[in-house]
Amino acid sequence: MLDLERDWSLSFAGCGFMGIYYVGVNSCILERCPRLIRDASRIYGASAGALMAAVMSAGVPLEKCCSDLMSMARRARSHPLGPLHPSFNLLQMVKDSLLSNLPENAHILVSGRLCVSLTRVPDGKNVLVSEFRSRDELVEALICSCFVPLYCGVVPPTYRGVHYVDGAASDNLPRCCTKNTVTISAYAGESDLCPPCGNKLSFYQVRFNNVSIQVNAENMYRVTSTFFPPEQQALAEICHSGYVDALRFLQENNLISSECPMRNLEMVATKPCCKEVTESNKKNPVQNRHQWLDPQLIEKLPVPIKRVLCESCRETQSSAGLLSHMMKLPKKMTSFLQLPSLPPIESAYSLAQRLVQWIPGVHREVSWLYSVGGDNSRQAQTTTMEDSGREPVVRRWKSLPSDLNLWDHLLLPLTPADTPTSTPSFTWNTSNEPEKQTLTPPPTPTDNPAPGTG
């Protein structure tokens, strides 16, 4: 049971595109128990969890965050390789979203309260940063916390002159063991606020840097959706499940505020969350109003979040049906046959854009790569010299059986300095007690002459 009489904290785990789950969670908390976020002493986060922690600490409207996240997922799915396509620059989209949504004094609002988990590149240690001197420095820390090696690039970004990578690589759920810390995760497991475990009989789980993940089919889908976003309607359903899970958590801990009573869901459901007036739906607006998204999937979400999800699904037309895709297939095939070299040209153009953006800092990045290579080489040489400077250890003869090997270097070392104090000592038996084994004297020769001698 969460005790609100003492200081408490929130901790968001990294989850990539599954961050839409946190939109539903926080929308429920802000609607039913805003004190849980407003009065939290610290808000921790790693990767996408750090982005959500920054949004909540700076007071950015959730509908803006939801809109940008749905747009990133839609653009990722528009490419053949998804987010791995050269023209898809995820970190640049995240940076543009932060610069457009965070207020100018965001670093003042979040300093001392927001804690971003980072992984330092030289030694792989976890670093928590909570003080920021400017908004640009805050954005740099958040970008470092989201950088997944090879997935987002090769050279990691810097924060205050030091290279960092995704905070989930060292601590994906900061301060999870601290008392009165509410741990929030998008994966079913042992976190305080997370999706319910679908299979009650599954006792297997994986702990990934303090995040408990139960081994089941649902979590496998969630892990895949972390890096490769699903369709817009599936993301909307994930957002709604976050709202439902947060509502269940608040009810179990008796945190439903009396100032924010339960809404009348029927009244909200009757209000249209989005509206698209076209020639096709003027005749039958009731049936065509939500042809791109089932309203029952988002019935409990606030109206601003509903509107964003509906508009995003309407733009993609993910649920338009098989007939619509079949009608568009000839047009796609015709355009592909007319321009067979378009995909290579597009990829080359995207790589050229990346190269132009990388040229101003090429000297700095190459110097860093050279220094990292030099450090690793020096460390390897130092280890080799230390190994060569050690005294050689005489090993037992491998061909002899263990029963015939009468010398053990562990019990009887070669050097006197290494000789243990328990070495057996040899003393003479000076006691007057007789020996237990009697010695038989040799026969005494006789002086009798041999027979026949006179």
Residue 66: phi and psi, rounded to 5, are -65, -40
Given 3-state DSSP classes, what are the helix, strand and coil percentages for the chain, each rounded to the nearest 5? Answer: 45, 10, 45
What residues contact residue 28 under an 8 Å CB cut-off, 6+ apart?
Answer: 242, 243, 244, 246, 247, 250
- How many whole angstroms separate alpha carbon 237 and alpha carbon 303? 15
Q: Residue 42 has what DSSP assignment?
A: E
Residue whose structure tokens are 């945190």: 255
* Cβ(107)–Cβ(99) below 8 Å: no
Determine the straight-line distance between the first and last CA of the chain, rounded to whole angstroms: 122
* Cβ(130)–Cβ(136) below 8 Å: no
List residues bridging with 213 in a β-sheet.
206
List residues bridging with 400 in a β-sheet.
none
Q: Which of 132, 138, 120, 141 is nearest to 47 (CA)?
A: 141
101-121 exposure pattern, b = at least 16 Cβ within 10 A, e = fewer: bbeeebbebbeebbbbbbbbb
Residue whose structure tokens are 């050269």: 86
Q: Which residues are known to be catalytic? A: 47, 166
Task: Kindly provide the residue ranges of all beta strands, DSSP E only, lying in 121-166, ordered along the sequence.
Answer: 126-129, 158-159, 162-166
**At how many degrees (to 10) do helices 62-77 and 20-32 cross?**
160
Q: Provide the Cα torsion 256, 262, 265, 268; round to 10°.
A: -110
List residues bridging with 87 in a β-sheet.
none
* Cβ(52)–Cβ(25) below 8 Å: no
* Cβ(171)–Cβ(210) below 8 Å: yes
- How many whole angstroms separate alpha carbon 393 and alpha carbon 178? 47
Q: Following DSSP, what letter does each residue of 344-412 receive, concatenated?
A: HHHHHHHHHHHHHHHGGGHHHHHHHHHHHHHHHHHHHHHHHHHHHHSPPPPPPPTTS-TTT----TTTS
Q: Following DSSP, what letter does each residue of 190-238 receive, concatenated?
A: SSSB-PPPS-TT---EEEETTEEEE-SHHHHHHHHHHHS---HHHHHHH
